Amino acid sequence: MLFAGVVVAVSFFTACSDDPAGSETDITVTAEFTADPNEPKAGETVTLNAEASSVSEGSPEFNWALAAPSGSEAEIDNPNSVTASFEVDEVGDYDVTLTVSSGDANDTASLTVKGLSPVEELSGNISEDTTFPSNTSYRVVGNVKVNNGATLTIEPGVIIEFEAETLFEVTDGAKLSAIGTEQDSIKFTGTEKNAGWWDGVFFNRVTHPDNEMEYVIIEYAGGASIHSSIPETGLAVGRSLYDARMSLNNSTIRHSGGLGLFIHANGAMPGSANNTFTDNTTGAAGVYTSTMHFLDSSSTYTGNDEDYVLVEANTLSDDATWQALDVPYATYGDASLNDAELTIEPGARFAFDAQSGLVINSGTIIAEGTEDDPILFTGLREEAGWWDGIFVTKTTHPDNLLNYIIVEYAGNEAAHGSTVPANLTVARSLYDASVSIKNSVFRNGAGVGLNIHSNGDIPGSENNTYTKNTEGPVELPTSKMHYLDSGSSFTGNADGEDFVWVNGNTREGDATWQPLNVPYGMKGSSTVEDGELTIEPGAIFAFDSQSDLVFGSSSVIRAIGTEDDPILFTGIREEPGWWNGITVSKTEHPDNAMEYVTIEYGGGEEFHSSTEPANLTIGRSLYDAYLSVTNSTIQDSDDVGIYIHSNGATNANICSDNDFSGNAGDDCSDNQ
């Protein structure tokens, strides 16, 4: 029974004859009543009950009045009783007024009872243009198909009740226009109010741009899958092999036995907005990667048994924007971007299933959050290595940007055989890639936070944080070290892994190596050629076993520290001979200089048969070299401290201008 009274209390003053002073007494009257049912169908009787009315003194008197719609002959039975009734005989509004009085005091309450048409049973095909008039009611007793190019128009106030396991399908080029209003919505409901009672609404093989549902309620559907490519859902758009298109605005899908909404990869919902998906069993909505952009941030997706939008991974090949929803996108499988521009809005959240990931192939990625609303890429479980991570490959578009994003719990497996597990991987063998990374966080990965392949670039990157990653903050080749900035943080990773890992290769072109808040962990042989390398004060390089640093042809070395911030070249282990040392060969540039530099624990192997093992080697047979070394410390070599070949040249007082200690061989072997 629906409460439907307007409560008004009015006080009147009446003289009491037994009061010798002629004082006045307040009488309060309140009129209040209910109507059951409040939306009756023609032929039904409406019961009016005023038992909730009250008077402060005396006995209440009741007077019911009815204003019926045109053509109606309805009248109030027992119009002066506390309970009354009338029979609905026309579709329309029945305005009921109750007046309650006691003495000279009275109060009035009123409401409108909406008379609906008798229930019409529906089943089978609607193959001709048809209209369901306002405030009519229908009962679906068998599957209904709007087909054969027909247009079905559903007007405001229509109620369609579905019996168990029935389906409403718009197919074969048909068109549905179901446009309610905020006051008079259109309702698709079940004959029983149980989640999954009926199967749902299905748009299939219809691409008319005017297919539209607005101010519609779909409830208690999602009983069974309506096609092998569609899960249980209240509303389905598209299926395998066939396209479908419709728009949904200002509508509610609730109490589904499955999803509220499902948009297949062949489905489209352009222009949809301001919808509510709530109290659905398996989630608010299900989409593919290629249909995620049809979901809008003005809609509400919370209050479901599973508060996610479920995403079946496939390939996005058209420009799209992924909006920030009030729940995360839960992604299953590897979602990829090909030949399209993808924009991700601030505050968007993506939770990936096990062994899932995001692959940016050819195209453009612009994921730009804000400090207050970062974009989050996480796992469905908060477990290091739960998902694979983000992989940027085959795209060098200058607009590629990751700004104010968080990537966490990834690094399950490498994106490619030429890479290592990481939260974010840039490039792979055979394919170039570049992306700018700013103000972002890479944490809790099972691999490294960031892996840059030798074919990868991260231009303009700055102010990032790499922490709590099992294998360290970053892994990259020598040729890409210049992309790391001193404004970023690389600390707090797994024990013993607070190194930026550098895989030795050849660096060509001018570059600057900045000091980080962790050492560069140098692996293998790193070579600098054909360009000027500047190493800033405070930079630390810790070399792995049998590793080295070589300055080759046409290179210029400027390693200038300060007394307070020297540059350190050391071993990962503090053990003489742990690494091979630094060699300057094939470069005679007069600006080659090291100042306030410490080189220690080298001398593992000689650079060339014409030299000796040393922390620092200058020159070799057949190749001339020049290097000035001042105010530096050369110590704990397993052999010579500085070895100067006969083809090497240095500042005149190299052996006296520097400090030497703990070297197993000569401190300064000058063969000039």
What is the percentage of the chain residues whose pLDDT exceeds 70? 96
CA 664 – CA 666 distance, rounded (Å): 7
pTM, to two decimals: 0.86
DSSP class per residue in 225-278: -SBTTB-SEEEEE-BTTB-EE-EEES-EEES-SSEEEEE-TTEE-TT-BS-EEE
Q: Which string of b and e fits 417-441 if b means at least 16 CB within 10 Å?
A: eebbbbbbbbbbeebbbbbbbbbbb
The upper half-sphere exposure of residue 561, i.e. CA atoms within 13 Å in the direction of its Cβ, equals: 22
Stated length of the chain: 672
What is the percentage of the chain residues whose pLDDT exceeds 90? 92
Q: What average pLDDT does the segment 56-73 reach?
A: 94
- Amino acid sitting at position 602: G
And the tokens for 607?
A: 């650079």
CB burial of residue 89 (10 Å; 0-12, 13-18, 19+): middle
Q: Position of tokens 């539209």?
A: 212
CA 172 – CA 206 distance, rounded (Å): 6
Q: Position of tokens 């624990």?
A: 601
Where are the strands (E) in 303-420, listed by range?
309-312, 315-316, 320-322, 329-332, 334-337, 340-344, 349-352, 357-360, 363-368, 375-379, 389-392, 401-403, 405-408
CB burial of residue 127 (10 Å; 0-12, 13-18, 19+): middle
581 backbone φψ class: left, alpha, beta (φ>0; ψ -120 to 50): left
Confidence band of 11 (pLDDT split at 50, 70, 90): very low
And the tokens for 562?
A: 């300060």
Confidence band of 412 (pLDDT split at 50, 70, 90): very high
Q: What are phi and psi of 290, to 5 degrees?
A: -75, -10
The predicted pLDDT at position 91 comes to 85
Q: What are 30-43's pLDDT values in tens digits?
A: 999 999 998 888 88
CA 262 – CA 264 distance, rounded (Å): 6
Confidence band of 296 (pLDDT split at 50, 70, 90): very high
Has residue 10 got a pLDDT over 50? Answer: no
Q: What average pLDDT does the segment 66-94 reach?
A: 94
Q: Strand 614-618 relative to strand 640-644: parallel, antiparallel, unpaired?
A: parallel
CA 560 – CA 274 distance, rounded (Å): 61
Task: Name, in order, each residue with C-beta under 8 angstroms of 378's C-beta and a sequence gap of 6 or more.
Answer: 328, 349, 350, 351, 352, 406, 407, 408, 409
Q: Strand 259-263 relative to strand 244-245: parallel, antiparallel, unpaired?
A: unpaired
Has residue 656 got a pLDDT over 70? Answer: yes
Closest CA to 476 of 448, 498, 441, 495: 448
Are 474 and 500 contacting, i.e. CB atoms less than 8 angstroms apart? yes
Q: What are phi and psi of 246, to 5 degrees?
A: -165, 170
In Å, the largest CA–CA distance within the chain is 135
Q: Which string of b and e fits 534-551 if b means at least 16 CB within 10 Å?
A: bbbbbbbbbbbeebbbbb
Q: How far is CA 636 from CA 526, 554, 577, 606, 661, in A?
A: 22, 30, 8, 16, 6
Are 606 and 572 contacting, i.e. CB atoms less than 8 angstroms apart? no
CB burial of residue 167 (10 Å; 0-12, 13-18, 19+): buried
Q: Note the Cα 243 to chain centre separation in Å.
A: 26
And the tokens for 201?
A: 């609404």
Q: What are 185-217's pLDDT values in tens digits?
A: 999 999 999 999 999 999 999 999 999 999 999
